[in-house]
């Protein structure tokens, strides 16, 4: 189903052409992939259960392996069921929403699997190069033997590290790398985007148009500023208040949203 208006097309359904048009080959592939998928489900679930129940397997290597099993389980479940449906039932249609969800989850779990594989490679390199310090490096566990008062309203890394009486250098390094990787990508993207916006705005002659663009972006900048503040008091806002404030901030100046709300409430006889 498509919708055409002024050279624009909105596609509601995609058609997956599958692997082959040969009926006999499709049946063979169905049983083959069904067997492989069943083995993947049973095998990965067993690994996860065994890891959770066996104290002897509570090591970094099996920790990563169990998470790899979870990633594999999700990764294959995003694609294989639809593939089996195509092969056995011939249902080649896929809605736009289902297609986008499949793409998103495939990307997420695919990226997660790549990251876990990289961590497993690092785990093996530490085990080979520094076997005597392997457990200490890979577990990075903390010991607490002093005060129990956490100067925060939830368990966060910085206040916990201050209370630890064991060596926290490895933990601090892992925390720094994690924050640098996750926040770094986000911050660079935000800065690059707004640098591009500013470059475009400076080329606009109309002061009213420039003001309108900055006015529109101010909502997002406010949320960004509050989220990246690390003070304990401000942390209340980005953990408790921001999830409630974000819809408000983004909707206060959104005329299209206001119009849509009025239409919905008007049709249903709801008076605000």
Q: What would the DSSP string read from start to end of the chain?
A: -EEEETTEEEE-EEE---S-S-HHHHHHHHHHHHHHHHHHHHHHHHHHHHHHH-GGG-SHHHHHHHHHHHHHHHHHHHHHHHHHHHHHH---EEEHHHHHHHHHHHHHHHHHHHHHHHHHHHHHHHHHH-GGGHHHHHH------S----SSSS--HHHHHHH--S--HHHHHHHHHHHHHHHHHHHHHHHHHHHHHHHHHHT---HHHHHHHHHHHHHHHHHHHHHH---HHHHHIIIIIHHHHHHHHHHHT-HHHHHHHHHHHHHTT---
- Give the rounded percent of residues in the chain with a pLDDT score beyond 90: 0
Of 265 and 191, more confident: 191
Q: How confident is the model at residue 2 (pLDDT cuts 50, 70, 90)?
A: very low
- How confident is the model at residue 7, as a pLDDT? 55
Q: How confident is the model at residue 171 (pLDDT cuts 50, 70, 90)?
A: confident
- How confident is the model at residue 165, as a pLDDT? 76
Which domains does the chain possess? 1-139 (1.20.1070.10)
Average pLDDT of span 114-136: 78
Q: How confident is the model at residue 3 (pLDDT cuts 50, 70, 90)?
A: very low
- How confident is the model at residue 226, as a pLDDT? 61
pLDDT > 50? residue 1: no
- How confident is the model at residue 249, as a pLDDT? 60
Q: What is the mean pLDDT of the chain?
A: 75
Model pLDDT for residues 217-249, shown as the tens digit of each residue: 776 777 677 666 655 455 555 455 556 555 556
Of 119 and 142, more confident: 119
- How confident is the model at residue 251, as a pLDDT? 56
pLDDT > 50? residue 24: yes
pLDDT > 60? residue 67: yes
């Amino acid at each position: 189903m498509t919708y055409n208006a002024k050279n624009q097309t909105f596609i509601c359904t995609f058609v997956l052409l599958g692997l082959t048009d040969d009926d006999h080959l499709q049946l063979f592939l169905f049983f083959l992939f069904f067997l492989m998928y069943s083995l993947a489900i049973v095998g990965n679930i067993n690994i996860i259960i065994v890891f959770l129940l066996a104290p002897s397997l509570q090591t970094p290597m099996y920790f990563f392996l169990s998470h790899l099993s979870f990633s594999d389980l999700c990764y294959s479940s995003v694609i294989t069921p639809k593939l089996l449906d195509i092969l056995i039932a011939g249902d080649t249609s896929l809605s736009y929403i289902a297609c986008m969800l499949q793409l998103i989850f495939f990307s997420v779990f695919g990226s997660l699997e790549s990251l876990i594989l990289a961590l497993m490679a690092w785990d093996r390199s530490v085990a080979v190069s520094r076997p005597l310090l392997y457990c200490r490096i890979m577990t990075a566990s903390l010991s607490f033997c002093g005060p129990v008062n956490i100067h925060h309203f939830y368990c966060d890394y910085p206040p916990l590290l201050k209370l630890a009486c064991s060596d926290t250098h490895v933990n601090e390094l892992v925390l720094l790398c994690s924050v640098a990787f996750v926040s770094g990508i986000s911050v660079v993207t935000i800065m690059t985007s707004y640098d591009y916006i500013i470059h475009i705005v400076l080329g606009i002659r109309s002061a009213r148009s420039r003001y309108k663009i900055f006015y529109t972006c101010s909502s997002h900048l406010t949320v960004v500023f509050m989220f990246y503040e690390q003070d304990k008091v401000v942390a209340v806002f980005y953990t408790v208040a921001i999830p409630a404030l974000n819809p408000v901030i983004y909707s206060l100046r959104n005329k299209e949203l206001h119009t849509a709300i009025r239409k919905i409430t008007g049709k249903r006889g709801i008076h605000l």
